[in-house]
Amino acid sequence: MRTKSSAPAPADAPFEADAGGVLTINLDALAANYRRFQDTAPHAEVGAVVKANAYGLGLKPVVAALAEAGCGSFFVAEASEGRAVREALAGRADDVPIYVLNGLMAGAAPAFIEYGLRPCLSSLAEIGEWKAATHLPCAIHFDTGMNRLGLTAGETAEFMASNTWSEGLDVALLMSHLACADDPDHELNAIQRERFAHIVDTLQPRFPRAVASLANSGGAFLGADYHFDLIRPGIGLYGGNPFTARDNPFETVVTVEARVLQVKDVPAGESTGYGASSTGEGVRRVAVLAAGYADGYFRSLSFPSLPGLQAQGGVVALAGRIVPIAGRVSMDLIVADITSLAEGAVSRGDMAELVGRHVPLDEVAKRAGTLGYEILTSLGERYRRHYTRGGRIPSSAADNNMGRSVS
Ligand SMILES: *Cc1c(COP(=O)(O)O)cnc(C)c1O
């Protein structure tokens, strides 16, 4: 059996016993999710969106695992992230295309050139600046209805009508982005697809080596006519559900656990935590957990919900059962109500699952009033991070019976 790919650094060793929160990232599940996209779009290349520190999971190990799974194109938001991808791939695949989705800011071309990054040019002004700086490959981003980044309809028409724009331009990628891919029934999907197909039909003869890309994670499941040459998933790779109202086809990649610091009884009629918001009728037993909003566990998961907020309140898995939060989530601590569990079921030092197979990412997001994307990119710096291979269940979770399913 293979073991953890990243042992704790020696300097951290004295603090291992003190780890309050543990974040486990299953790189095999990540690779399985990559293959799921390849199976869904067998005739397209599957690139990977690794912006924002690979959606909070850690750029280096994620990029290495994806490259090993066969990924040959990466997308980031900013050039500095592109440099980090280039460095993560050094010696493995030095010429892999790295696309920068936010495009080219004035004066930024030298950074792109130095690290061999490709800007996704989003206006005629950016195209002009790139051409003036270099003839290296680039992408052109067309806005087909999202009205965010990309050449406007007017600019697109101008670009397609005149050859002078394409002179001296090495276009490696023609791209657009879907606004509503999370909702397969939304009418804007087909409108954007048709607009993009027209652009590709017009421009691919002019740029014979350019590949075309429209679909993100959700778009990959809209049908083969959305795949074009390359799909660019993000959230699905990391185990998030790309759909608002469909089952999640992806494996769980991220497990977040917090240690039980104390188990105690709260006298009848007394409250827990800031604001004294949670009061019980009888005696309650609670577990105090070592994580909080500083770790990215949203304060909107407090229960009862915060004043003015319509939210359900968070739950955690402890001793193989799902239990509610009692009171406010604070900066470093959460209190869970374990009155429903057998006496002695939870002890000091156990781990509670905050996000994972028993408390799915998208359920946490829904309860917090947000998306899995925001939960992942908010994961704090304080967690001990473990990257696992070989389908191993994190040892701390296994000790805590968390390998079993929750009824
Ligand atoms: C973030 C992003 C993606 C990935 O989207 P997911 O929904 O995470 O799959 C793809 N393309 C663009 C332009 C993006 O900004």
- Which CATH number fits the domain that encloses residue 298? 2.40.37.10
Check whether residue 283 and residue 340 sit in a common domain: yes
- pTM of this prediction? 0.92
Q: Are residues 349 and 312 part of one domain?
A: yes
pLDDT at 398: 39
The span from the CA of 224 to the CA of 260, in Å, is 48
For residue 125, give the nearest of 136, 137, 109, 111 by alpha carbon.
Answer: 109
The per-residue pLDDT for 396 is 45
Could you confirm whether 226 is annotated as catalytic? Answer: no
Q: Domain containing 113 — which CATH number?
A: 3.20.20.10
* Ligand 1 proximity of 47 Cβ (cutoff 6 Å): no
Q: Give per-residue burial for 11-27: e unless 16+ CB within 10 Å, then b.
A: eeeeeeeebbbbbbbbb
Query: Is position 373 annotated as part of the catalytic site?
Result: no
Which atom from ligand 1 is nearest to the alpha carbon of 177?
13
278 CB within 6 A, ligand 1: no
Residues 196 and 331 in one domain: no
Does 100 lie in the same domain as 210?
A: yes
Query: Does ligand 1 have an atom closer than 6 angstroms to the CB of 141?
Result: no
Note whether residue 28 is domain-resident. Answer: no
Q: What's the CA angle centered on 108, arms 107 and 109, to 5 degrees?
A: 100
- Tens digit of pLDDT at every position of the chain (407 positions): 344 444 555 667 777 778 899 999 999 999 999 999 999 999 999 999 999 999 999 999 999 999 999 999 999 999 999 999 999 999 888 899 999 999 999 999 999 999 999 999 999 999 999 999 999 999 999 999 999 999 999 999 999 998 899 999 999 999 999 999 999 999 999 999 999 999 999 999 999 999 999 999 999 999 999 999 999 999 999 999 999 989 999 999 999 999 999 999 999 999 999 999 888 889 999 999 999 999 999 999 999 888 888 778 999 999 999 999 999 999 999 999 999 999 999 999 999 999 999 999 999 999 999 999 999 999 999 999 999 997 554 444 434 433 333 33
Residue 136 belongs to a domain: yes
Give the structural domain span for 292: 254-388
What is the model's pLDDT at position 392? 54
Q: Which amino acid is at 233?
A: P
Q: Is the dihedral of CA 23, 26, 31, 35 positive or negative?
A: negative
- Is residue 190 domain-shared with residue 327, that is, in the same domain? no
Instruction: State the Cα angle at 229 between 138 and 376, rounded to 5°.
Output: 75
Looking at the fold, whether 340 and 261 belong to one and the same domain comes out as yes
- Whether 88 and 223 map to the same domain: the answer is yes
Q: Is residue 155 domain-shared with residue 224, that is, in the same domain?
A: yes
Give Cα 404 distance to the centre of its chain. Answer: 26
Give pLDDT, residue 307: 85
Residues 92 and 225 in one domain: yes
Q: What is the DSSP letter of 142?
A: B
Asked if 210 and 295 sit in the same domain, the reply is no
Which one from 34, 51, 293, 383 is the annotated catalytic residue? 51
Residue 396 lies inside a defined structural domain of this protein: no
Output the pLDDT for position 3: 42
Q: Of all protein residues, whose CA lies closest to atom 10 belonging to ligand 1? A: 216
At 391 the pLDDT is: 58
Q: Is residue 188 part of a domain?
A: yes
With a 6 A CB cut-off, is 242 part of the ligand 1 pocket? yes
**Calpha distance 333→330 (Å, rounded):** 5
Domain count, the chain: 2
